[in-house]
Structure 1
Amino acid sequence: MLAATLLLIALLCASVLMKVPYTQLSPGPTYNTLGAQDKSGTPVISISGQQTYPTTGHLNMTTVQVTGATYQPSLVSVLVGWLRDDVLVVPHDNIYPQGQTEQQSEQQNAEEFASSQDSAKAAALTQLGYPVGNEVIVSSVVAGGPSEGRLHAGDRIVAVDGTAITDAAQVAKQVTQHKPGENVVFTIVPHAKDGANPSAADQSQVTVTTTKAPDADRAMVGILPGVAHTYPFKIDIGLQDVGGPSAGLMFSLGIVDKLTPTDLTGGQFVAGTGTIDDSGKVGPIGGISMKVIAARDAGARYFFTPSDNCAEASKNTPSGLRLIKVDTLDGALKALGQIRAGQDAALPSCTTS
């Protein structure tokens, strides 16, 4: 009996102390895209240079809290998490691929967040019939590369070595004319100053020293150029400590609501999630089971759910929350019209199949 008791105590101690390679997700804060970011009163979405209209109700984007890359939960913590509805336990490498640091993960999330904002603006303005143009930008910066800390995701590339840039492929062409170790001069409009019509005063020159590409004998600066959009007026989306692409749909809806005289929500509390592309197509996201809990805890009655996430979301829908299946921005706008009219029975619903 004594030996068995001591063995049990040893096993219990081991389970408390033993660290296991898992990451835990839980419901995060939600943000009303029609409201303020924080107590300062700064709007989540601000529009200048175009008439806007009053809004009511909520169009909340949802988030998930994730434990850090270096955090290792105990076996007991993981077992408890598996038993709870408001904690999702997943293998560590699902969130932080092997070899990726927390800083690299945060940078990737920030870049995805910036890209989702751009697509959200493009989708919303296209839906409303405004012209949307294109520009070449820094899409991402390689961690530890020559451009890190000098160029940033979202910077607009105006010229390279004085040659005007109108296509993303031109950037690599200009850089590879140099030998490793030589300087390349970028003329950019920093992302923080990028507006509808930036002036010459907003431009700055950044010199980057090239290095040898790891896979070939050519010069590189460690950036991925891409294409972003230009707009006829300025739209700012400002949120701190939020990353990833999943807020795209709700940002688009918030922009449309502010630019149209129709009060889209009719005063109702609507939340949701989903990526969005330039054409307004809504895509699936991760952590849906935690996001529906976050939405209901915040007070939402309706939750826009990408159709590919419907089956998972329907398994543990919190009481009092109606899941609305969406595939496009236009479909979400039509669903809001049904909510305003009180036609809940006509709303496209999620199912478990």
Structure 2
Amino acid sequence: MPRRSATMLAATLLLIGLLCASVLMRVPYTEMSPGPTFNTLGEQKSGEPVISISGRPTYPTSGHLNMTTVQVTGAKYEPSLVSAVIGWLRHDVLVVPHDNVYPQGQTDKEAQQENAEQFASSEDSAKTAALGQLGIPVGTEVIVSSVVAGGPSEGRLHAGDQIVAVDGTTVTGKEQVAALVTKHKPGETVEFTVVPHARASATPAAADEHKVAVTTGKASDGRAIVGILPGTDHTYPFTIDIGLQDVGGPSAGLMFSLGIIDKLTPTDLTGGRFVAGTGTIADDGAVGPIGGIQMKLIAARDKGAQYFFTPSENCPEAVQGTPSGLTLVKVDNLAGALKALDSIRSGQNAALPACPR
């Protein structure tokens, strides 16, 4: 065989080998893509409202205040090198290192549990921030945040139980619980007055309270312990239910707060416009950054959004991939988001705080 032909054959075989290897080779990356969006003023597929309020007058709303989501491949998914390269080239797929999404070998189940906890926490903060913005008092209560497996309280106290008193002393702060427990010696009994999580409400009746005796264990430093982590929870003067299912993470907090405020005030916040957005929310109304911002922008625009509320820390990334026809609105806190809605409603787009380019 002529040398030139042999060289071409060898090069062809090498190329074929490299292509096969690139198809078979798995790389440690995860893919994100635009997920569904949900109008916090609207209904779920079941026909139930996304946000329902009872015990307080509510008002008609119009337009959209959509929360946005990102779809993520599972913890066990390992794309081929070819798939990863194709993902990098597409505008509607974000390829990121696997450990950025599933740290330290986290499983799908562990990720789902973490996302569910973050979502529940964001719901609570969204309610607290919204009512705080409206000047409606929000109370607090001490609860059992978690129970140590195999500890003295396992099977006797449960996560979510409200702690009313310890040894007859009324509890007003989570720090009191440890202080009252450590007055005992290991092996002694501590009496908790609790309202079980299943029956707890904003205003639990005295009949719901019952006493639970826990025999203390011994910590490594000799202190008496009962094997619980006390925490605090908010109580509200009326019922606010956020009914979305199969959605996780903390990034819907801002849009939930806006949806709650819109339902509780006579002003139609959007004026019929289609507003979407994202961002965590703190109890004081501060808005924090989230992940997957570019995928959320695509999801919002595909649904018809005209404006997108963007946490200020996400602005540098957001401006790099803003879909045509979508106006980014920089948001630092809940009050700023409401002011921006005032401008949108009145058609004063020039007054909107923009993400710097």
- The one-letter amino acid paired with 1:21 is P
Shift of 1:88: 1.1
Shift of 1:307: 1.0
Paired with 1:200 and 1:186, the residues of 2 have a C-alpha distance of 11
The one of 35, 52, 62 aligned to 1:28:
35
8 Å contact kept, 2:116–2:249? yes
Count of aligned pairs between the two proteins? 348
- The one-letter amino acid paired with 1:84 is R
- The one-letter amino acid paired with 2:307 is Y
Alignment deviations for residues 252-295 of structure 1 (CA, whole Å, 9 cap, x no partner): 10110000011111111111111111221111111111111111
Paired with 1:145 and 1:317, the residues of 2 have a C-alpha distance of 51
- The one-letter amino acid paired with 1:230 is T
The one of 81, 99, 108 aligned to 1:102:
108
Equivalent runs, 1:140-219 vs 2, <5 Å: 154-159=160-165, 164-173=170-179, 177=184, 179=186, 187-190=194-197, 194-200=200-206
Shift of 1:249: 0.8
Point out where structure 2 has 5 or more consecutive residues left out of the alignment: 1-7
Q: TM-score when scaled to structure 1?
A: 0.87
Shift of 1:194: 4.4
Shift of 1:104: 2.4
Mapped pair 1:72 → 2:78:
yes
Q: CA RMSD in A?
A: 3.0
- The one-letter amino acid paired with 1:243 is G
Could you say if the C-alpha distance between residues 220 and 133 of structure 1 is closer, same or farther in structure 2, counting changes exceeding 3 Å?
same
Mapped pair 1:295 → 2:304:
no
Equivalent runs, 1:1-353 vs 2, <5 Å: 1-38=8-45, 40-139=46-145, 154-159=160-165, 164-173=170-179, 177=184, 179=186, 187-190=194-197, 194-200=200-206, 224-352=229-357
Question: Greater shift after overlay, 98-107 or 194-203?
Answer: 194-203
Shift of 1:159: 4.5
Same amino acid, percent of matched pairs: 73
Q: TM-score when scaled to structure 2?
A: 0.86
Paired with 2:203 and 2:57, the residues of 1 have a C-alpha distance of 17
Question: Greater shift after overlay, 296-305 or 15-24?
Answer: 15-24
- The one-letter amino acid paired with 2:282 is D
Shift of 1:97: 1.5
Point out where structure 1 has 5 or more consecutive residues left out of the alignment: none
Could you say if the C-alpha distance between residues 351 and 132 of structure 1 is closer, same or farther in structure 2, counting changes exceeding 3 Å?
same
SS across alignment from 1:315: coil
Could you say if the C-alpha distance between residues 81 and 183 of structure 1 is closer, same or farther in structure 2, counting changes exceeding 3 Å?
farther
8 Å contact kept, 1:195–1:234? no
Alignment deviations for residues 167-211 of structure 1 (CA, whole Å, 9 cap, x no partner): 11233345665759x999673442x65433233565677898988
Could you say if the C-alpha distance between residues 37 and 80 of structure 1 is closer, same or farther in structure 2, counting changes exceeding 3 Å?
same
Shift of 1:16: 1.6
Paired with 1:153 and 1:106, the residues of 2 have a C-alpha distance of 18
Paired with 1:21 and 1:244, the residues of 2 have a C-alpha distance of 23
Could you say if the C-alpha distance between residues 318 and 32 of structure 1 is closer, same or farther in structure 2, counting changes exceeding 3 Å?
same
Bigger-Rg structure (1/2): 2
